[in-house]
Structure 1
């Protein structure tokens, strides 16, 4: 199997991207000055990590501080972190294999970045009325079950009831009468929360599958307070989730729905909405496509986003990207109020001073991680999958004999991401491992991984053909696990960062902001906004939301609408848009 050099993005995109920074920065040479406590901006900024969080941080921070020198350090030779897209040659053409994330949900935080990079024409939308958007499956106990969508389907509901996957769902109606959790309980697992409020079978059959698809994690370890935050707060404020929601609806005099939201999130959404409204040059067709889609990606894969970001930064004279350059450690020099960063391998380490450091490095004490193996398969024969849809997830309740490979789920890439390939066929991705591999001393090799994946799809989908192309990727410690007590640990970690670095080190990344690409971009945008003006002189550590102890508020969730050239704000008096409907 031969891989084309993925660095060859469409030349038209690169020409447009490279032209913008030169025009903007033509007059900025020789304008860097020494920073001090009285300086208007930080002279030297280090960003540790060249994944999507680090690249996005550089992009946003460069806009806030056009006179600062920004240096990105990453131990890897290729930027993008877990974003890995490869165009693979197969008989008759080529296909895109995604080794990591493959789609984004529509939301406002990535929108300005796509616009800045000129990527609108390279976006591929999956419409909401497509099979991929409407059909999502759970494998239980030995067959695929299509889960309910927005439409009520009588016969499918009957089949779901007969399969057993929905056992216990009727207990949702009794949820308002369940005993409220003790006031002393500060957190619990998702599994315990669902079992206590509804039914253990719903936790095992449905929720465990859903969280396999997002976190590759164990619902009996993941935090309900963090990952089911609205339900957790509804119970805390009103005694029950469903009862609390109905109370909000009955007391709501606003023309829009309201939900509990953290005031920090509400303020961030207001700020972003003002920024988007200030842009008059958005492509109207792109905006309409974004509104109408279920998910989206790019013609050359999701890594096209990070690669175009890198290319844009490389053409910005204030940014220096140093790949293959690991950061060993950093400490605060109390005398100079600068951060001393130790850079390089052991035999060639050197120290550089920076006025500000933005770190995406992991905090070992904050979260454990899981390891996931993805197996990309392409078959020259089309329509091998017996159903159409995005794919299926495998819950923890599936008997071992139906999942001895310890698979998490299978994505039907042919349906989920159409339009990337130059040849017809059947393309899918099998996900293995996650929390199932916790404590393992070793993992399957490439041959074993391929055989495990082929075994899964033969048993579950009846596919017996040999693939025309196969690629196995092992992602060590790729997804942080927000386990029970995460928010308390995050707050304590933030307090220590503030005490140790006095605001000179800020953190961002999937361990702090959420595991999705949109979450990482949102975190970078929020961090840059907090730095703007004199914000970089404050003692924040980048964990402003975690450190914000204000009680949750009710925020209206108006439907966001776009008119030609701008985002229409909610009607007067409707209040700020809540963060939870924006992805």
Structure 2
């Protein structure tokens, strides 16, 4: 039997890493501190077939990471379980921004190119011209807000990037790193002087998919049925029948079939490294292993290391996370005046909500309208204090949909979740700090790989893709 590899953290990153190790014939131990696997992915099935998502709800099929998740779906024999929203659907095309309690669709057609429309109030042509006439700023990194303000103007920064950043990261665009979140835009300016000029000058290569074999990574033309289907049907976003939790269940089935050791309620107490061997203290037992994959949040990993790794601990502790209240509201019948993906609220508009997703516009469920209100994020403590009750969050969500959507009837059912520390904040300088962490691990020959949303991307796709990549790059034997 090959030696055990230990994965700490049973969220989607830890599960994906353990799965890739098992596929390569390795013995794996996966330890999760909580009472369930899946991390922030959690689907709540109700008795009548309705499903609430309390965490991530849709995935994008595009890009290297998007295709990697579709490949995983095929590997788990779950190809037929995918449900998708085509790019032509209103739930894909219509995204709203709330300004002064009015919801404005983001327009991208010919009219928006030449004429000003809310919420940006400037024609897109002038935005392009501003970028092309703005000199390059040589820098290692910059906040997402400052980058957008400088290159595209205040309106785009305030009413476009600010709410987008809140919806994606739960964070403040004035703090979040453009290099970490929108690296292609940052590199376009650094390499070519302007964003649009850089995008036009870059040669677009034929899109290929990453196929991972036990012996490495190779670029090949896609043979993934799910990737082929996503292109043929023009998917905008997709999910799984029964909710994204089914992807977690698929990974667990595979791990059990490979006889992986799976432990719940088993927090790692301490990590020690000596002579190329890792000692993993799990409280109930101590494991010696050739390599550890840490999929726990960066500050949690810092707490497991001894003071001899003070430099690494300091770097890990720079990656903090924000709290999010998530409230699912279900109404009888159709209560929305228009179909859309949902709306986002810029920070300058105040309020306690970051935005609301119109879940059943994307994936209808019987005769119900289901909305998910996102609360707090970077501003959680300032608007809710340290210890809000579920009733506090529920009332905030109900007030939000009444104010913005005019829904005054009480919800038929609801579910309230408070996710503490759920979204890591990749603030300015994140990439350089990440390089510092990995340089330290390499220079000190630590048998440790860091994976998860704290590092290379916060989306489910990013977590799955980089876990796959991390296992591949080690060339474990």
Report if TM-score (shorter chain) is over 0.5.
yes
Whole-Å separation in 1 of the counterparts to 2:347 and 2:128: 21
State the match for 2:286 in structure 1. Answer: 351
| 2:176 aligned counterpart, secondary structure | coil
1:79 is aligned to 2:37: yes
Report deviation, 1:520: 0.6
Deviation at 1:207, TM superposition (A): 0.4
Change (3 A) 1:239 1:267: farther
User: Which of 377, 396, 402 pairs up with 1:434?
Assistant: 377
Aligned-partner Cα distance in 2 for 1:532–1:413: 41
User: Which residue of 210, 233, 245 corresponds with 1:303?
Assistant: 245
Shift, 1:268, TM fit: 8.8
Q: Which residue does 1:360 correspond to in 2?
A: 295
CA separation of 1:162 and 1:529: change in aligned 2, threshold 3 A: closer
Q: 8 Å contact 2:341–2:358 — kept in the other structure?
A: yes
Determine the structure 1 residue equivalent to 2:304.
Answer: none
Q: Supply the distance in 2 between the matched residues of 1:94 and 1:57 (Cα, whole angstroms).
A: 31
* Residue in 2 that maps onto 1:371: 323
Separation in structure 2 between the aligned mates of residue 234 and residue 115 of structure 1, nearest angstrom: 34
1:242 Cα deviation (Å)?
A: 2.3
* Aligned 8 A contact 1:366 1:493 in 2: no
Pairing 1:57–2:11 present: no
Mark the runs of 5 or more structure 1 residues left unpaired by the alignment.
1-31, 34-42, 260-264, 535-583
Report SS of the residue matched to 2:116.
Answer: helix
Partner of 1:492: 436
- 1:428-577 to 2 correspondences below 5 Å: 428-437=371-380, 441-500=385-444, 502-532=445-475
Per-residue Cα deviation, 1:213-263 (whole angstroms, up to 9, x for no partner): 1101100000112222122112212222223334x16xx5xxx4699xxxx
- 1:114, distance to aligned residue in structure 2 (A): 0.9
| 2: CA distance, partners of 1:480 / 1:332 | 26
Which residue of structure 1 lines up, in the alignment, with residue 132 of structure 2?
A: 176
> Given that residues 97 and 119 in structure 2 are in contact (C-alpha distance below 8 angstroms), is that contact kept between their aligned partners in structure 1?
no
Measure, in 2, the Cα distance between the counterparts of 1:175 and 1:414: 38
Distance 1:352 1:257, change over 3 A: closer
CA contact (8 A) 2:98 2:346 kept: yes
2:73 corresponds to which residue? 114
Partner Cα separation in structure 1 for residue 424 and residue 461 of structure 2: 16
Q: Mark the structure with the bigger radius of gyration.
A: 1
Cα distance, 1:123 vs structure 2: 1.2
Q: Distance in 2 between matches of 1:484 and 1:326?
A: 31
In structure 2, the residue matched to 1:201 is: 155
- Which SS does the other structure have where 2:255 is aligned? helix
TM-score normalized by the length of structure 2: 0.88
RMSD in angstroms over aligned alpha carbons?
A: 2.6
Gaps of 5+ in 2: 300-316
User: 1:356–1:505: 8 Å Cα contact kept in structure 2?
Assistant: yes
Which of 195, 198, 204 matches 1:241? 195
Which residue of 110, 118, 141 maps to 2:100? 141
Q: 1:509 to 1:425 in 2, by over 3 A?
A: same
Distance 1:416 1:209, change over 3 A: same
Q: 2:347 is paired with a residue of what secondary structure?
A: coil
For the 8 Å contact 2:210–2:219, the answer to whether it is kept is no
Shift of the alpha carbon at 1:362?
A: 2.3
Asked whether the equivalents of residues 168 and 202 of structure 1 are also in contact (C-alpha less than 8 Å), the reply is no
Question: 1:320 pairs with 239, 261, 273, which one?
Answer: 261
Tell me the distance in 2 between the aligned counterparts of 1:99 and 1:267: 31
Distance 1:454 1:372 in 2: 16
Contact kept, 8 Å, 1:366 with 1:490, in 2: the verdict is no
Give the drift of 1:162. Answer: 5.0
Report Cα offsets for 1:134-158 as digits up to 9, x if no partner. Answer: 1111111321111125xx263x789
